[in-house]
Amino acid sequence: MNKIKTYVLLNIMLLMLSFGGILSKLASKQIFLSIPFILLYFGTILVLFLYAIVWQQILKYIPLTVAYANKGVCLIWGLIFGKIFFGEIITFNMILGAIVVFLGILMVVSDEG
């Protein structure tokens, strides 16, 4: 697998991991052991399971330090999903922090080669 495909797959999986956070937050708003709670909780576990499998496969192609540095993208997805799904307010400091995280990821990934 070439590097670009690996990074694309990694970021798709990180997007999926962030979506798992959405499912768990939605589950927390349900009545414990109700049908919606069980479905959302099961969805969260399924997302985490699939993420763990693909994460191990990705680590065959890129170093752990580089892959782990990319997990910072989850912060950016968290901001976006928080706004979309929960109406959370995005502040200037949050945007600035996301930019710093993104620049850090670019530095780690570009220095890898």
**How does pLDDT run across 26-73, given as a tens digit for each residue?**
899 999 999 999 999 999 999 999 999 988 888 888 888 778 877 878
**pTM of the full structure:** 0.73
Query: Quick check: 81 and 26 in contact, CB under 8 A?
Result: no
Residue type, 72: G
Kindly report, residue by residue over 67-94, the tens digit of the pLDDT: 887 787 888 888 888 888 888 899 999 8
pLDDT of 85:
87
Cite the DSSP H helix spans in the chain: 3-28, 35-58, 64-69, 73-86, 92-112
Report how far residue 49's alpha carbon sits from residue 42's, in angstroms, rounded to the nearest whole number.
Answer: 10
Specify the residue for token string 């109406």.
Answer: 87
CA atoms within 13 A on the CB side of 34: 9
Token pair recorded at residue 95: 């945007």
pLDDT of 112:
54
Instruction: Output DSSP code: residue 70.
Output: G
pLDDT of 65:
79
Token pair recorded at residue 72: 């910072």
Domain boundaries, the chain: 3-112
pLDDT of 111:
62
